[in-house]
A = this chain, B = another copy of it.
Amino acid sequence: MTTRDRSVHRSAKDNYRWEGVEELPYKEDDRALFKSVTRQVLFSDPEMHAELRYFEVAPGGFSTLERHRHMHAVLILRGRGHCLVGGEVRPIETRDLVTVPAMTWHQFRATEGEPLGFLCMVNATRDKPQLPSAEELAKLQTDAKIAAFLRNGRT
């Protein structure tokens, strides 16, 4: 199984792909709204208590707006964009670090010009993401900056 690959050395291929690593659909939850995101599981092993995944958001794309109990530890590997974490929208660029605390609404959006690629470390055992209810979404949108962020590219 590719996500349990124990090869000692897996070479980087062009364009942020890796030898022996499968490019996966971003989400299996059909209700989740997102645009042009791929997922690669770089490290996942029964002996490790966390996983390291690489997500790539195509230009103008965005990840799902969600929250969960588990934390995210994110390092931007390529490109730039914006992230929403809790009540704040922030510009992000290559090598920036983003911490998503427990139960905090978050979303990543790529600029138009280039893909946004990021590493995300998570605990191996973790809860499922929750999607915002209509009421929770409306509440987030009462902040003008968040509303603009969420509107951007959602066509």
Mark A residues whose CB is within 8 Å of B. 5-12, 16, 18, 21, 42-43, 45, 47-50, 52, 70-71, 73, 75-76, 83, 85-86, 88, 90, 92-102, 119, 121, 123-125
Contact = CB atoms under 8 A, between A and B. Distances in A.
A120 to B, nearest CB: 10
Nearest to A83: B9
Nearest to A49: B49
B52 A75 contact: yes
Contacts of A119: 75, 119
A94 B49 contact: no
Contact of A73 (B16, B48, B70): B48
A8 B86 contact: yes
5 contacts: A8-B86, A48-B71, A48-B121, A49-B50, A49-B125
A42 B97 contact: yes
A96 B12 contact: yes
Contacts of A90: 8-9
A34 B86 CA distance: 42
Contacts of A49: 49-50, 123-125
A137 to B, nearest CB: 21
A92 to B, nearest CB: 7
Nearest to A17: B95
Contacts of A70: 47
A123 B95 CA distance: 22
B85 A123 contact: no
